[in-house]
């Protein structure tokens, strides 16, 4: 038997989107909330605990819905839960139905469906402050007697109202209100019964099918109208609300775009530049940590390499994304809470609509220019599964900040010296434009081929502008950051260790003939007149390159060289490209080792690489020429070289199918376009 002498009381929050459910949920449960996914779905399951005079109450915040005839995965979860069909869901003792009082008629539509399920229900009318501003008065007692259930009227932003509400809720936990009920006219009831509609096993699709969609909706709205007669008084004529005034500019076809550009620029700036010092701080911390760990480990080279290059590097490469995720989710929360996010989607819908996406895809795509991980996480604001998947599939094509170092090296090596600063800037813009130019046609292809459903639609409520609720934003940011660290983090760490293994083993022993002959050859190459310390450094750099060349990774690089030859890559570039599959930034340090300029992914390495690459002569019949640089740029811009992104996609879409598809299509796309770019560059630039 259960642990509790009495079954724990379970309350469900039900209501339309924007009805204030999250605010109430956060106010009641605070930090005692748990976010998971509904089994087999990507929908967030929010539950929490609060106390009524010492008694523990379980509160579930069901996803906001307009109808129990579910149209989106979120609505599906709410409908299944209320119909008792959701697995592992504790039976509901009390429903708190939240309704935005400023659009009460529409808000009660879902209530007329809920009322067919006979849960003990309390109706909570929210947005009292807005209603007062709009000159609305509500006779709650009259409404309560008409509906036969308790009706409360609150402003969820008001602490006193919240306290009063909590007291009332606790009262109704101990003294359950009567179940919500709805009566249809006798002729309708008769018709429903004759066509096999059961009141005990309600099927809303069947309900609408029997009556006809329009008649069913009209019937429900007619019943609501009767219940609301005399309840809802417009005391004075509504003056133009501040939302309307703001929208004159914010959603204006011309000014609106200007405001939009400013807002997006600001957010992009924040993710791109403001997060940078924090990211550097994290890198510095891990660098220092590695430095201190190095000394005691120096005696055991393999442990040294495992801890420094594998573990610390791996954990660091997970945590370094956290500042960007926090910044992005803070601003996303701000936009969502204030009501602007819906406006941004409204403005952008046409621009993205032709490709099968909708306006809400804009923010995730923009965020992906900083980093695809927060971008993929941000697609949670897209309710339609199909559009969310397509947005996730194209988000990593946007050029993220970890591609920048290689762009910088190649452009300063091959563009700036020959064509000047202006051309270099142009090249930066061009390589950043490549992503969206390729992504939208890909989205179009995906929406036509991967999903069978015809056409997409875009229905979005524009809520009134409101001051953001900091508490709601705080929990959103916290959830996103923790989810990233715990779930994506473990996968990234594993792959970091795998790539470390491949680049470390097999180790060539000093007694080995291969090592001996390399050592003799290198000694001969050593320039004359070096000091002892310089000799040591020269040997160390050469040895690191030799070890990498002999490792599994190096051998794989040589093995795949023929595969990359059509793109103009030699074995060194092939190794670097392979090494960068877990994380793009690794390409710089690997090239640094192979071109023997240094071993760290720091500015010095990048600088020396930029100087060294154009000077590679036709050693082994290969020269790093501008055509190769262009080919590598295109490949690097489009390929899926980021294990973190793939791990996050897996977590978000709970299937390995999508990240696998993402990886294959992006790599293929990168290969084909890099090949074309290489051939074109050879034709126009020559060797």
Partner 1 sequence: MVRLSELALGEKGQISQIESSAIAPRLMELGFVPGEYVELKNKAPWGDPIEVSLLGYRLCLRRKDAEAVWVNTQ
240 forms part of the interface with partner 1 (CB under 8 A): no
Measured distance CA(236)–CA(218) in Å, rounded: 28
Cβ-based nearer residue to partner 1, 242 or 274: 242
**What is d(CA 207, CA 214) in angstroms, rounded to the nearest whole number?**
12
Write the interaction track for partner 1 spanning residues 352-391; mark x where CB under 8 A is met and - where it is not: -x-----x--------------------------------
DSSP string, 288-354: HHHHHHHHHHTTSHHHHHIIIIIIIHHHHHHHTTHHHHHHHHHHHHHHHHHTHHHHHHHHHHHHHHT
Q: Choose the binding region for partner 1 from 252-260, 487-495, 508-516, 659-667 (rule: CB under 8 A).
A: 252-260
For 70, list phi and psi in degrees, rounded to 5.
-30, 130
Minimal distance in Å, beta carbon 339 to partner 1?
10
Is 237 a residue that touches partner 1 (CB under 8 A)? no
Q: Which of 658, 650, 304, 655 is nearest to 451 (CA)?
A: 658
**CA quadruple 351, 357, 362, 368: dihedral positive or negative?**
negative
Smallest gap from Cβ 222 to partner 1, in A, equals: 9
- Rule CB under 8 A: say whether 490 interacts with partner 1: no
| Member of 50, 109, 329, 495 binding partner 1 (CB under 8 A) | 109
Subset of residues 528 to 587 that bind partner 1, contact rule: CB under 8 A:
none
| Stretch binding partner 1 (CB under 8 A), from 85-93, 191-199, 387-395, 455-463 | 455-463
Q: Residue 506: is the preceding peptide bond cis (ω within 30°)? A: yes
Burial class (CB in 10 A: 0-12, 13-18, 19+), 115: buried
Query: With binding defined as CB under 8 A, does residue 465 bind partner 1?
Result: no
Rounded to the nearest angstrom, the gap between the alpha carbon of residue 96 and the centroid of all alpha carbons in its chain is 30
363: its two tokens: 């923010």
Using the rule CB under 8 A, is 674 a contact of partner 1? no
Subset of 256-275 contacting partner 1 (CB under 8 A): 256-257
Residues 424 and 411: beta-carbon distance below 8 Å: yes
Closer residue to partner 1, CB minimum distance, 73 or 353: 353
Choices 102-110, 261-269, 536-544, 581-589 (CB under 8 A): range interacting with partner 1: 102-110
Placement of tokens 């909590």 in the chain: 166
Task: Please identify which residue in 142, 278, 442, 462 interacts with partner 1, judged by CB under 8 A.
Answer: 462
579/4 Cα distance (integer angstroms)? 55
Does residue number 663 form part of the binding site for partner 1 (CB under 8 A)? no
682 makes contact with partner 1 (CB under 8 A): no
CB 471 to partner 1: min, Å: 25
Map the footprint of partner 1 across residues 295-354, applying CB under 8 A: 342, 346-347, 349-351, 353
Is residue 11 within 8 A of residue 50, CB to CB? The reply is no
Does residue 184 belong to the site contacting partner 1 (CB under 8 A)?
Answer: no
Shortest distance (Å) from residue 355 CB to partner 1: 14
Spell out the SS3 assignment of 116-153. HHCCEEEEEEECHHHHHHCCEEECHHHHHHHHCCCEEE
Q: Which of 104, 138, 480, 593 binds partner 1 (CB under 8 A)?
A: 104
Which residues are registered as beta bridge partners of 36? 45
Question: CB of 585 within 8 A of CB of 643?
Answer: no
Does residue 71 touch partner 1 according to CB under 8 A?
Answer: yes
Beta bridge partners of 88: none
Minimum distance from residue 252 beta carbon to partner 1 (Å): 8
Residue pair 541/534 in contact (Cβ under 8 Å)? The answer is no
User: Taking CB under 8 A as the rule, does residue 43 contact partner 1?
Assistant: no
What per-residue string of b and e applies to 536-546 under the rule 16 or more CB within 10 Å gives b? eebeebbebbb
Q: What is the DSSP letter of 91?
A: P
468 interacts with partner 1 by CB under 8 A: no
CA dist 214 and 211 (Å) reads 8
One residue of 183, 457, 533, 687 binding partner 1 per CB under 8 A: 457
| Number of residues this chain uses to bind partner 1 (CB under 8 A) | 40
Tokens representing residue 607 in the block: 């600088």
| Shortest separation between residue 35's beta carbon and partner 1, angstroms | 28
Among 85, 105, 164, 236, binds partner 1 (CB under 8 A): 105
Residue 109 or 663: the one with the smaller Cβ distance to partner 1 is 109
| 2 is an interface residue for partner 1 by CB under 8 A | no
Q: How far apart are CB 350 and partner 1 at their closest, in Å?
A: 5
- For 581, what's the count of Cα atoms within 13 Å in the CB-facing half-sphere? 18
Distance CA 310, CA 289 (A): 13
Please pick, from the candidates 451, 458, 465, 622, the single residue that binds partner 1 as defined by CB under 8 A: 458
Tokens of residue 585, six digits: 């930034």
Q: CB of residue 137 vs partner 1: minimum separation in angstroms?
A: 14
Q: Closest distance between partner 1 and the C-beta of residue 156, in Å?
A: 18
Quick check: 148 and 246 in contact, CB under 8 A?
Answer: no
Interface stretch with partner 1, choices 97-105, 188-196, 320-328, 419-427 (CB under 8 A): 97-105
Shortest distance, position 82 Cβ to partner 1, whole Å:
16
* Binding to partner 1 in span 208-227, by CB under 8 A: 208, 213-214, 216-218, 221
168-to-29, 128, 154, 238, 572 alpha-carbon distances in Å:
16, 17, 12, 32, 71
Find the angle CA(180)-CA(84)-CA(112) to the nearest 5 degrees.
Answer: 30
**Least spacing, CB of residue 562 vs partner 1, in Å:** 49
Min CB(395)–partner 1 separation in Å? 23
The total of other beta-carbon atoms located within 10 Å of residue 523's CB is 12
Q: Which residues bind partner 1 (CB under 8 A)?
A: 66-67, 69, 71, 100, 102-106, 109, 208, 213-214, 216-218, 221, 247, 251, 253-254, 256-257, 342, 346-347, 349-351, 353, 359, 454-455, 457-462
């Amino acid at each position: 038997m259960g642990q509790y002498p009495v079954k724990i009381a379970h309350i469900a929050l039900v209501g339309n989107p924007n009805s204030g459910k999250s605010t109430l949920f956060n106010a009641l449960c605070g930090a005692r909330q748990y976010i998971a996914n509904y089994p087999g779905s990507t929908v967030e399951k929010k539950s929490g605990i609060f106390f009524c005079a010492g008694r523990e109450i379980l509160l579930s915040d069901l996803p906001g819905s307009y109808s129990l005839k579910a149209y989106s995965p979120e609505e599906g979860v709410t409908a299944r839960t209320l119909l008792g069909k959701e697995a592992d869901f504790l039976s509901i003792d009390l429903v708190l139905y939240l309704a935005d009082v400023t659009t009460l008629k529409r808000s009660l539509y879902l209530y007329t469906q809920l009322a067919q399920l006979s849960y003990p229900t309390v109706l909570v009318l929210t947005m009292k402050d807005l209603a007062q501003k709009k000159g609305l008065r509500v006779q709650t007692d009259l409404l309560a007697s008409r509906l036969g259930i308790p009706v409360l009227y609150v402003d969820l932003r008001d602490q006193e109202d919240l306290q009063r509400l909590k007291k009332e809720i606790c009262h109704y936990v101990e003294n359950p209100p009567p179940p919500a009920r709805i009566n249809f006219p006798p002729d309708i009831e008769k018709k429903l019964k004759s066509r096999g509609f059961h009141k005990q096993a309600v099927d809303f699709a069947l309900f609408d099918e029997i009556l006809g969609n329009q008649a069913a909706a009209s019937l429900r709205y007619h019943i609501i109208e009767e219940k609301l007669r005399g309840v809802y008084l417009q005391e004075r004529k509504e003056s133009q609300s501040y939302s309307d005034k703001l929208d004159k500019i914010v959603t204006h076809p011309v000014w609106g775009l200007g405001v939009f550009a400013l807002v997006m620029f600001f957010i992009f700036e924040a993710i791109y530049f403001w997060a940078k010092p924090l990211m550097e701080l994290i890198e510095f911390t891990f660098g220092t940590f590695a430095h201190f760990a190095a000394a005691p480990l120096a005696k055991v080279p393999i442990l040294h390499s495992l801890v420094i290059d594998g573990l610390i590097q791996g954990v660091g490469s997970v945590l370094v994304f956290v500042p960007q995720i926090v910044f992005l989710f803070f601003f996303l929360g701000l936009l969502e809470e204030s009501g602007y996010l819906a406006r941004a989607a409204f403005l952008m819908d046409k621009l993205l609509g032709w490709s099968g996406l909708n306006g809400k895809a804009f923010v995730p795509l923009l965020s992906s220019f900083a980093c695809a991980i927060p971008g993929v996480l941000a697609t949670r604001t897209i309710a339609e599964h199909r559009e969310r998947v397509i947005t996730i599939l194209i988000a990593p094509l946007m050029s993220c900040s970890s591609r920048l170092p290689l762009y910088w090296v190649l452009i300063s090596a091959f563009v700036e010296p020959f064509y000047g600063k202006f051309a270099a800037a142009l090249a930066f813009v061009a390589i950043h434009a490549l992503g969206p130019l390729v992504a939208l046609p890909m989205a179009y292809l995906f929406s036509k081929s991967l999903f069978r459903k015809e056409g997409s639609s875009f229905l979005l409520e524009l809520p009134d502008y409101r001051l953001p609720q900091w508490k709601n934003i705080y929990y959103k940011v916290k959830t996103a950051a923790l989810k990233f660290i715990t779930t994506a983090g473990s996968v990234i760490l594993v792959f970091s260790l795998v790539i470390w293994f491949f680049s470390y083993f097999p180790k060539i022993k000093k007694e080995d003939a291969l090592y001996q002959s390399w050592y003799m050859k290198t000694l001969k190459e050593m320039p004359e007149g070096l000091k002892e310390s310089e000799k040591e450094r020269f040997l160390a750099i050469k040895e690191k390159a030799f070890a990498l060349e002999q490792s599994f990774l190096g051998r794989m690089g040589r093995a795949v060289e023929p595969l990359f030859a059509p793109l103009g890559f030699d074995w060194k570039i092939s190794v670097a490209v392979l090494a960068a599959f877990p994380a793009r930034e690794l390409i710089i340090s690997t090239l640094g080792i192979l071109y023997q300029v240094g071993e760290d992914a720091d500015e010095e390495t990048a600088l020396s690489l930029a100087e060294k690459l154009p000077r590679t002569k036709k050693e082994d019949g290969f020269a790093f020429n501008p055509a190769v640089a262009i080919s590598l740029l295109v490949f690097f811009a489009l390929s899926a070289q980021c294990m973190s992104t793939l791990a996050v996609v897996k977590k978000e879409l709970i299937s390995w199918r999508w990240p696998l598809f993402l990886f294959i299509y992006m790599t293929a796309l990168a290969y084909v376009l890099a090949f074309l770019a290489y051939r074109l560059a050879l034709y126009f630039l020559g060797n």
